[in-house]
Amino acid sequence: MSGPTVSVLLVTWNSRDETRRCLDALWAARTDAVPIEVVAVDNASTDGSAELLAGDPRVRLIRNERNVGHAAAVNQAYRQAGGELILLLTSAVRLHPGALDTMVGFLRDRADAAGVSPRCLHPDATQRQHHLWVPSFPAVLALGTPRRRLPGFRSALDRPRPEADDLSGARPFGTPGCLLLRRQVLEPDGILDERFPLYGNDLMLARSLWDAGHRLRLVPEAVATRGRGASDRLLGTATRTRHRIGGLVRYLRSTEPRHRLAVFRLVLLADHLGSGLARRPTALGLRELGAALRGDVGVLPDGDTRAWSVLSGDGQCAAEHYFRIVTGQRTHDQRTLLVHRPRRLRGRRLRVQFDGASVWHATPPVLLSFGRSLAPVRRINRWYAAATVRRWLHDRPGVRILRLDDTSRYLLGRIGEDEVVPATATRLPALPADRRGRLPGHAPLPGAEDPLPSALT
């Protein structure tokens, strides 16, 4: 019996429902004319993703004991694959009938194409932007800063523009999340650069193929639908932004002159300081931004992936909320951080205690212990207290929901929250991000919009 023509590489991390829909679409789209195998890697999911894959006899599953990142997991699957063609597929993508056969047929007919991808749509059937290309420096600036809204940077980011260009023929760009590659153009031991665990590995792949003289193509007759991945949503804005900025820094360090990297850092720092002066919320604190600008992407999310519900621990709303949790009137589908009134603490360190009921009690320190009745001193102490809470949350990824009342208002815009709801709300809203990455009821933070589609799920 001959081996598979196509090896499908699929990585999952807490994306069970998306993975099920992805596989259902894949099996419906394939035909006997193109033999395939599916090699899946699960990055220590806790939502049943691995059990779903293990229950499908058509899937060869590799289970990791921890989250090793998307790039390393793809390379794990690639080393176990036997097909002459390699399909990089994320669980957020659903292939339409005939798409796989069309892409395989294109590569058979066009020896000059190293890889091919389908035309990709949003769930509402509008055209998605295709971003797997070798970006210019202005495009990288647009990816990393709010300057993507300015005309000159926007045009750099929008090249190419599938929604405006003629798609009647093949185009030299591809779709991250669904890319079919010839095995002969790839390295034998890996596809993606593991220095980019979540974001930026697709840019490096496009760059390495381009530098080697290989070209990617888009075939508009092959169609796929892509939503926003569940894994991407679970990260929260702060973790997602740090990985994205850190990935762009590593990309520039590898591909551009040093002065351009310096310009990139200065622009991002200026944007951050300007947002602070204008009292606009930022996705990262100054310390986390500094780490990202050094190329430090921080920890990979692992273990508990539930959302954080942050509220003041001193008001009546907190007492009622806590009572509902410990008496079982609330489900434990979230983690609760009760932030108590700042106090003078030794070492000026945040004090956190876990009570065993999905609730953490945090007592922030004050920076200035004198003149606390003065308004400027109160503002400095509140800023410092919020910064310590933010740093603690940064090492514990997850969507951050601030339950706002008068006693927690000083945290607003200072802890990298993804969503703000009244503290009196009896239940948290669902957190579906729309197709542009915004969460309901909250203006998008810098980095919350996702112009560069993630290959995470």
Any idea what DSSP says for residue 258?
A: H
Instruction: Check residue 155 and give its pLDDT.
Output: 59
| pLDDT: which is higher, 164 or 398 | 398
Residue found under tokens 């993975």? 19
Asked if the model's pLDDT at residue 436 lies above 50, the reply is no
Whether 7 contacts 37, CB under 8 Å: yes
Q: How far is CA 379 from CA 274, 367, 371, 411, in A?
A: 19, 10, 11, 11
Helix, coil or strand: residue 138 = helix
Minimum mean pLDDT among 22-31, 168-177, 379-388: which range? 168-177
Alpha-carbon torsion (326, 331, 335, 339), positive or negative: negative
Q: How far is CA 211 from CA 205, 214, 256, in A?
A: 10, 7, 14
| pLDDT: which is higher, 153 or 272 | 272
CA–CA dist 131, 175 (Å, integer): 6
The neighbour count for residue 309, using CB atoms within 10 Å, is: 25
Instruction: Check residue 301 and give its pLDDT.
Output: 78
Tokens of 344: 């003078």
* pLDDT tens-place string over residues 25-35: 999 888 888 89
Q: Does 429 sit behind a cis peptide bond, omega within 30 degrees of 0 on the bond before it?
A: no
% helix, strand, coil for the chain, step of 5:
35, 20, 45
Asked if the model's pLDDT at residue 452 lies above 50, the reply is no
Helix, coil or strand: residue 55 = coil
* Phi and psi torsions of 239, nearest 5°: -65, -40
pLDDT band at 163 (very low <50, low <70, confident <90, very high): very low
Task: Measure the CA angle with vertex 349, ends 343 and 354; round to 5°.
Answer: 85
Residue found under tokens 């954080």? 308
Of 98-107, 209-218, 304-313, 434-443, give the range with the top mean pLDDT.
98-107
The identity of residue 288, as a single letter, is E
| pLDDT: which is higher, 358 or 255 | 255
Tokens of 213: 């003289």
Instruction: Check residue 317 and give its pLDDT.
Output: 56
Instruction: Check residue 216 and give its pLDDT.
Output: 85
Closest CA to 385 of 426, 424, 360, 348: 348
Asked if the model's pLDDT at residue 372 lies above 60, the reply is yes
Minimum mean pLDDT among 51-65, 297-311, 381-395: which range? 297-311
Instruction: Check residue 441 and give its pLDDT.
Output: 37
Helix H segments across 126-217?
A: 137-144, 151-157, 201-211
Mean pLDDT of the chain: 80
CA–CA dist 370, 237 (Å, integer): 35
Instruction: Check residue 298 and give its pLDDT.
Output: 84
Tokens of 271: 């944007």
Which H or E element spans position 375? helix 375-394
Minimum mean pLDDT among 48-62, 262-276, 436-450: which range? 436-450
CA–CA dist 309, 302 (Å, integer): 18
